[in-house]
Structures are given as structure tokens and as C-alpha cells.
Amino acid sequence: MDLKLGDKRMVFDPWLTGPAFARGWWLLHEPPSDWLERLCQADLIYISHMHSDHLSYPTLKKLAGRRPDIPIYVGKTERPVFWNLNQSGVQLTNINVVPFGIWQQVDKNLRFMILMDGVHPEMDTCIIVEYKGHKILNTVDCTRPNGGRLPMKVDLMMSDFAGGASGFPMTFSGGKFTDVHRGRRRSSSLTQCPTCSGPPA
């Protein structure tokens, strides 16, 4: 994910070359030919967790060859995101491990906060970005982002299709759409009974 917010550029979980999961996953589409130049121009990178489709050492190795000091932000998880950095041979010099739930100010208009997953707090994170009062929530792979306490008035939410590496679609409850659905379901069950022919005689 590449976000341009004013004159700042944030990149989330760059996987742009090489395989993931012991060569079990490969990129579905060829990235743009200038992907490395674009990645090097980022003002900061956020890496959500240690899985190789989010923490791509082949991508970061190419990045480190050009810009080893690029600011990279990760949440302060029990299992460190970069637990394998020394063995990887990737030379990055500006990795910032930040606590959950604390705003990180980028400039006067832009800030972000890393939040933990309620199901896998030891390793999984998501991020909320606020730019000029507009909020973007990226739940990444979190099964229960921030323990289910989602921020109010989010302008854009990005989520995975199948939370927690599951085949079932990710769903959230609460808010006006849940209330509308409950009302329709109750109304439907009161007015439709295919096995009933009417009141008892």
C-alpha cells in the first residue's frame, strides 16, 4: 500500500520482489518497473507483522542497498517484527519500535497510531492514519483490530477479505448498518413463516 498524503508518502508492508512463505506464495502481478525508486522516496514505512508477505526480506534487501536509513515503524509486539534481521543480512539502520495506542506525529497535518490485534496481540498490528482530520484505518491481517475498539468517524477503512488467514469473509458489527440489518431480519421473521397456514382454528 502506497499512501500519498500532501507532500508525505507512507508505504505499508512492501512486498515487491521474491517469494513469501518458503516459496509457497509469489506475487500475483508484476510490480511497476520503478517500484524500487518509488519505495526509496517514501518518508516512512510501516510493517504490520513478521509474516513474509508483510515483512519481505527480499524487498527490504534491495531497499537497504539504496536507502538503509529510511524510517521503518513497527509495533512493540511480544514477538519482535524484526526477530530475524541479523540472520537476514539486511542492513537497515532506522527501525522504530513504537508502543501501541500512541500517536506518532509526522508533521503538523499527518500522524499515525499503531494498534494491536485482540486475538494475536503478541505479533499482529494494524494502523490508523490521520491527515488533516481525515482518518484511514488499515486493519491489515488483524482478526480483532484493537480488541474490537475501532476508532469513530473513520473516512476510509482497508481490511483483508479473510481475517486471520481464514476462508471466511472478515465482518464487523455495530453502527447503523447492524441496526438496520437486525430490524430487517426481525421484521422478515415476523411476516414470513413458510410452514404456517394461518392462526390455529
Give the CATH number of domain 2-191; options: 1.10.1760, 3.40.1710, 3.60.15, 1.25.40.
3.60.15
Q: Which of 34, 33, 72, 41 has the alpha carbon at shortest distance from 56?
A: 72
pLDDT of residue 18: 92
CA-CA distance, 97 to 101, in Å (whole number)?
Answer: 13
Place of cell 509469489: 26
Q: Is 173 helix (H, G, I), strand (E, B) or coil?
A: coil
pLDDT exceeds cutoff 50 at 200: no
CA 66 to chain centroid? 26
Length of the chain: 201
Q: Which segment of 3-12, 28-37, 56-65, 80-89 scores lowest on mean pLDDT? A: 80-89
Helices (H) and strands (E) in the chain, counts: 4, 10
The pTM is what?
0.80
pLDDT of residue 117: 92
Domain boundaries, the chain: 2-191
Say what percent of the chain tops pLDDT 90.
59
